[in-house]
Chain A
Amino acid sequence: MSVLDSKIPAGNLADKWTDYKDHLKLVAPNNRPKIDIIVVGTGLAGASAAASLGEMGYNVKAFCFQDSPRRAHSIAAQGGINAAKNYQNDGDSVYRLFYDTIKGGDYRAREANVHRLAEVSGNIIDQCVAQGVPFAREYGGLLDNRSFGGTQVQRTFYAAGQTGQQLLLGAYSALSRQIGLGRVQMYNRHEMLDIVKVDGKARGIIARNLITGEIERHSAHAVIIASGGYGNVYFLSTNAMGSNVTASWKVHKKGAFFANPCYVQIHPTCIPVHGVNQSKLTLMSESLRNSGRIWVPKKKEDAEAIRAGRMKPTEISEENRDYYLERRYPAFGNLVPRDVASRAAKERCDAGFGIEANETNEGVYLDFSSEIRSKGKQAAFAKGEHAPSDERIWQLGKEWVESKYGNLFQMYEKITDENPYETPMKIYPAVHYTMGGVWVDYNLQSTIPGCFVAGEANFSDHGANRLGASALMQGLADGYFVLPYTVSDYLANEIRTGKISTDSPEFEQAENEVRGMINQFLNNNGNRSVDHFHKRLGHIMWNKVGMARNEQGLQEAISEIAALKEEFRKDVFVPGSADELNPELEKALRVADFMDLGQLMAQDALQRKESCGGHFREEYQDAEGETLRDDENFKFAGAWEYTGDNISNSVLHKEELKYEFITIAARNYK
C-alpha cells in the first residue's frame, strides 16, 4: 500500500470536480480575515491565487524575488493558452482537450486532474477577457485562435507572441487591486529560504529581504508554493536568470515528496547556442510551427558546405531539402508534440546534417518561405488581384507573417543579426519546462499538511510531456479555480487556531539554519565563482540527463554531481556580506539546491527503465527511434522522499496511475 493518497474523488470523470467542489468545507466570510495565507511566487499561479484568496477576504502575504510581481517568468510565455471553447467549430470539446493533454503527456498524468483542467479552461478565457486582457480578435470582433503541437483543432487563444505577458499582467492587475485594498501584503525582492513546520503542519516561512539582507519570519495557516520550474539546473535554458528550485526544494527537504524530476521538456525551437559566455537561450514560439517548415539538407555535403559558409540555405533546391517532420509524421507534420520534434532534430544533427557552425554543429532550419508565398497569394486574391507578380505575392505574404509573428521575427533578428524573412531561422532544442515537481494530491496539497503547490512547481497535470499552450492554462486554473476551493476546505479547520506566533522554537531553529547556511557561504573563501560551478553542473546535466539518456551516463552523472557538490561547498567564493544586496549570495543559495536536485533527476531517470514523453532512454526505443513505454512496470508517478544530505539515500514512493475512462495506447502522431 502506497503512502501516497491522491484523494481523487470517486464518480464519473466528467462530474468528479463539480461533485467534489459541492461537498468541500467552506470558511464563512466573517472568519476569513482571521486567517493568514502565504503565497510564494507571483507568476500566473501565484498571482492568480493571491488575488483570488485576497478577494475572498483572507489575509494574504505574497512574496517574489523580483523587483515587482509583474516580472515573474510567466511573462515570457509567447504562443498562447488552450481552452476548449470550440469557437472555431472544429469539433473541440472538454473531452478532446482532456484526451489530447493525457495523450500528449504520454499517459503519465492523472485522469481526474487533467479533466478538471480541461473543464475550467473556458472559464479562464472568460475571466481574463473580463479583466481587460487584449487577446487577438478577428474582424468581426470575436476572439481568434490558432493551432499548437499535438492537436488537430484550433483552441489556442493568443495575444501576438506575448500571450504570457498579457495574462500575467491581467493577474498582476487583479493582485495589484487587492494590494491597493490592503488584502494582500506584497513583499518584493524577498526570497523564501525555508518553510516552517509546527506540529507537522506548514505554519510559515523564513524569507530574506534581498535589499537589506534581513532574515524575516512570516507565519500563516497555509503556505502556497508557486515558484515555477527547475529548468535552470541545466544553467542554459529558456528560463529567466533568477528562476530557481529553492522554494520547492526547501519544502522537499522538510517532508514534501518530489515527483518525476526526470520529466523535462526540451523545446524544439530555440535559437542555437552562440558561445561560451552565453547566459541563456531564447525560445522562438511553437506558434511559428503553424507557418514554418522544419528542414535540414538531404545531402551531407550540403550541410557541410553551409557550416563552412560556402553555401546559403536559400541556394538549396526543394528536392534537396529534408522536411524530416513531414516525412516521418505526415498526420501532424510540423505540429508534432515538442518531445517528438526535439528528438527528431537531434537525430538529424547527430547523423551529421546539422547546419549551425558552432562547436556541436547543432541546428536546423525553420523556414517561412512556403507560408509567405501561400499567404501572399491568398491576400492578393482577397484584394481582387488575380495575376499578382512574384514580388507582389512576397510583399503581401511578408505583411501577413509580420502581423502574426512580427515581434518574434524582430527578436530573432536582434539576437542573431539575420533577417528571418530573407533566410530561414536557425533553431535547436533547449531546456524549457519541467513537468516534474512537488508531489501534490487532487487538492494540490503536498505531503506536508497546509503546504499547497501550484503551477509549474507541482507535478500534476502534464505527465511526461506538456503540450504547447497548456502551461498558462494550468497556472491560471490552479490559482483562480482550484486553490480557492481546496485551500478553503483545509482552512475550515483553522478558524479557531488564532494568530500563529513566530516566537516558537520551530521558527527559531529554521531561522538559525538559514543564517548558518548564509554564513557558511560568505566565510568559505574558496577560489571559484558560483557561475563556474553552475556551468559545470549544467554541462553534466545536458550531456547525461538531457534529451537522450542511458544507464551508464546516468550512473556517471550521479557520481559526478555528488563530487561536484562537495567541490562546490569547499571551493566556492561568495564576495560581499549578508546584510546588503548581494546577487552572488543569492545565486550560491540557489545553486546549492540545484546540485541536490540534479542528482535526484539522474536517479529518477535511472530508475525509470522506459522511454516516455520528455524522458528518453536510449535502451528503450523501437526500430524507428520512437519511445517505448513500459506500462506494465512504470505506469506510476515516482515521488521521492528526502532522507538527508546524501541524495542517493532518497526513497522512491510510487503512485499507481489508474486509467478508468480512457484506454491507454502507444502515442502515434504518424
Chain B
Amino acid sequence: MASKNININLKIWRQKNVNSKGSMETYRLNDVSTDSSFLEMLDQLNEQLINERQEPIAFDHDCREGICGMCSLFINGEAHGPDRAVTTCQLHMRKFKNEETIYVEPWRAKAFPVIKDLVVDRTAFDRIQQAGGFVSVNTSGNTIDANAIPVPKVDADKSFEAATCIGCGACVASCVNASAMLFVSAKVSQLALLPQGRVEAKQRVLNMVRQMDEEGFGNCTNTGACAVECPKEISLDNIARMNREFMSAMVSAE
C-alpha cells in the first residue's frame, strides 16, 4: 500500500499527577507517515517536544503488537480509536485524514485513576484476579497427565476465546457505567468452561464479583458498548454466562 505523509492537529489530555487538575492541550504535527502506528505518531510528537525542550507526553505502551494490553487511549471518543478489533498500537495513521483534529484522552473511570497525562492505574483488575481468577493448583511434578481428562473441542474453543482478553480496560472506558463485567466474565467463563476450573466455579464467581464491586466499577445495563470496542472481540455471551454462574452460586452457596 502506498504510504503518504499527513499533517494533523492533536488535542491531548495533560495532567501532572493524580492530585492535579488536567486539561486538553493542542499540538501540531507535520509529516506523519500513514504507515506509522498511532503510538509511533506519538513518539514523533514526543521527539518534537523534547527538541523544543518541552515535557513529552506520558502514555502506556509496551509490546506494540496488540497483545500485552498496556496501551490504553481514548481516541476521538472511542477506546483504541476508530478501527475495530485493534489496540491503539495496531491502529495506523492511514485511518486518519490530512489536517484532521484528533482528540486523545486517558481511560475515564473512577476505578482507573489517572497517574499522569494518558497513563492510568489499572491495578483494580489485578486485585479482581487475585480474588479468584485462578485454579487452586500448586506447582507439582505429579499432576495428572494432560490428556487424562478429554475436553470437548467446542468448550475448549469457547474457553480460549474468553481467555484471549488482554485486560486493557477498553470495556470499562467504553461503558457508560464504567462496568468491568466483560473483563470479569471473560475470566469466569474461561475457567467455568473447563473441567479443571469447574471445581471452584461457585466460589470464584462470588469472590471476583465481590472484588469488582469493591473496586468501584459500575453495574452492567446491557448496552453492549464494551463488546463493540473490545480489541479482542470478547463476546457478550460471557456476561450472560457469568450472570448464570453468579445466580446459581448465590442460591446454592453454603
Across-interface contacts of B197 in A (CB, < 8 A): 132
Whether, in the assembled complex, B106 has its beta carbon less than 8 Å from a beta carbon of chain A, the answer is no
Of B65, B146, B152, chain A has the most CB atoms within 10 Å of the CB of B146
Interface residues of A in 499-555 (CB under 8 A from B): 529, 531-532
* Contact residues in B for A306 (Cβ distance below 8 Å): none
Chain B contacts with A in 35-74, Cβ cutoff 8 A: 35-37, 39-41, 43-44, 47, 50-51, 53-56, 58, 60-70
Please report the C-alpha to C-alpha distance between residue A159 and residue B163 in the assembled complex, in whole angstroms. Answer: 10
Q: Give complex CA distance A580, B58 in Å.
A: 11
Q: Is A130 an interface residue (CB 8 A)?
A: yes
Which of B55, B131, B139 makes the CB contact (< 8 A) with A174?
Answer: B139
CB distance from B44 to the nearest CB of A (A): 5
Contact check, B194 vs A134: say whether CB atoms are below 8 A apart: yes
Given contacts A76-B68, A162-B164, contact A131 B135 (CB under 8 A): yes
Q: A127-B143, A142-B147, A580-B116 are in contact. Are A76 and B63 (CB under 8 A)?
A: yes
A277 touches B40 (CB 8 A): yes
Whether, in the assembled complex, B241 has its beta carbon less than 8 Å from a beta carbon of chain A, the answer is no
Stretch binding the partner chain, chosen from A374-382, A407-415, A428-436: A407-415
Are B94 and A55 neighbours in the complex by a CB distance under 8 Å?
no
Closest residue of chain B to A271 (Cβ to Cβ) is B65
Q: Which residues of B contact A143 (CB under 8 A)?
A: 146-147
B232 to chain A, nearest CB (A): 9
- Which one of B33, B125, B139, B141 contacts A51 once the chains associate, using CB atoms below 8 Å? B139
Contacting residue for B121 out of A67, A70, A241, CB 8 A = A67
Is the beta-carbon distance between B43 and A531 smaller than 8 angstroms? yes
Using known A-B contacts A162-B164, A529-B50, determine if residue A76 contacts B65 with beta carbons closer than 8 Å: yes
Give B125-173 interface residues, CB cut-off 8 Å to A: 125-126, 129-141, 143-147, 150-153, 156-157, 159-160, 163-164, 166-167
Contact yes or no, A417 B94, CB < 8 A: yes
The answer, yes or no, to whether A418 is at the interface (CB within 8 Å) is: yes
Q: Are A176 and B67 in contact (CB under 8 A)?
A: no
Chain A contacts for B1, CB-based, 8 A: 416-418
A274 touches B143 (CB 8 A): no
Query: How far apart are the CA atoms of A162 and B197 in the complex, in Å?
Result: 20
Q: Are B116 and A130 in contact (CB under 8 A)?
A: no
With contacts A132-B135, A282-B65 taken as known, whether A274 is within 8 angstroms of B43 at the C-beta atoms is no
- Identify which of A51, A125, A136, A241 gathers the most chain B CB atoms within 10 Å of its CB: A241
The chain A residue with its CB closest to the CB of B57 is A583
Q: Chain B residues with Cβ under 8 A from A71's Cβ?
A: 62-63, 68-70
Q: Which residues of B contact A98 (CB under 8 A)?
A: none
Using A130-B144, A211-B115, A584-B50 as known contacts, say yes or no to A414 and B92 having CB atoms under 8 A apart. Answer: yes
Closest to B194 in A: A132
Given A134-B190, A141-B153, check contact A173 B65 (CB 8 Å).
no
CB pair A131 B196 closer than 8 Å = yes
Chain B positions within 8 Å of A575 at CB level: 50, 53-56
- B3 and A275 within 8 A (CB): yes
Interfacial chain A residues near B92, Cβ < 8 Å? 414-415, 417
Contacts of A142 in B (CB 8 A): 147, 150
A4 within 8 A of B: no
Does chain A have a CB within 8 A of B111?
no
Contacts of A138 in B (CB 8 A): 153
Contact A173 B147 (CB under 8 A): no
**How long is the Cα–Cα vector from A455 to B161 in the complex, in angstroms?**
28
Closest to A160 in B: B160
Beta-carbon contact of A55 and B86 below 8 Å: no
B12 adjacent to chain A (CB < 8 Å): no
Chain B neighbourhood of A172, CB < 8 A: 129
| B141 engages A481 (CB within 8 Å) | yes
Give, as a whole number of angstroms, the nearest-CB distance from A242 to chain B: 5
Beta-carbon nearest neighbor of B132 in chain A? A180
- B119 within 8 Å of A by Cβ? yes
Instruction: Knowing A415-B90, A417-B1, A575-B50, say if A278 contacts B40 (CB, 8 Å).
Output: yes
Q: Which of B64-93 contact A (CB under 8 A)?
A: 64-70, 83, 85-86, 90, 92
**Complex: A166 Cα to B159 Cα, angstroms:** 11
Determine if A241 and B134 form an interchain contact, defined as CB atoms under 8 angstroms apart.
no
Question: Which A residues are CB-close (under 8 A) to B55?
Answer: 575-576
Chain A residues near B153: list those with CB within 8 A. 137-139, 141
Interface residues of A in 395-419 (CB under 8 A from B): 410-411, 414-418
Residues of A41-76 whose CB lies within 8 A of B: 48, 51-52, 55, 66-71, 73, 75-76
Give the CA-CA distance A484 to B140 in the complex, in Å. Answer: 11
Cα(A282)–Cα(B90), bound, Å: 11
- In the complex, chain A residues 137-152 whose Cβ is within 8 Å of any chain B Cβ: 137-143
Query: Is B11 an interface position by the 8 A CB rule?
Result: no
A55 CB contacts on chain B under 8 angstroms: 138-139
In the complex formed, the residue of A with least CB distance to B86 is: A414
B123 lies within 8 A of chain A by Cβ: yes
Please tell me if the beta carbons of A132 and B196 are within 8 angstroms of each other in the complex: yes
A531, chain B: closest CB distance, angstroms: 7
**B202 interface contact, C-beta 8 A:** no
Residues in B neighbouring A481, C-beta threshold 8 A = 139, 141
Find chain A residues with CB under 8 A from B123 CB. Answer: 67-68, 188
B109 proximal to A (CB < 8 A): no
CB distance from A85 to the nearest CB of B (A): 7
**Chain A residues positioned under 8 Å from B138 (CB to CB):** 52, 55
- Cβ distance A473 to chain B, nearest Cβ, rounded Å: 14
**Footprint of B on A, CB under 8 Å?**
48, 51-52, 55, 66-71, 73, 75-76, 85, 87, 120, 122-123, 125-132, 134-143, 159-160, 162, 164-166, 169, 172-174, 176-177, 179-180, 186, 188, 211, 238, 240-242, 274-275, 277-280, 282-283, 410-411, 414-418, 480-481, 484, 529, 531-532, 573, 575-576, 580-581, 583-584
Nearest 3 pairs of A and B residues by beta carbon: A141-B150, A180-B130, A173-B134
Q: Beyond the given A174-B137, A414-B90, could you list 8 further A-B residue pairs with CB under 8 A, ordered by the A residue number?
A: A131-B135, A134-B157, A138-B153, A179-B130, A186-B126, A241-B61, A575-B53, A576-B55
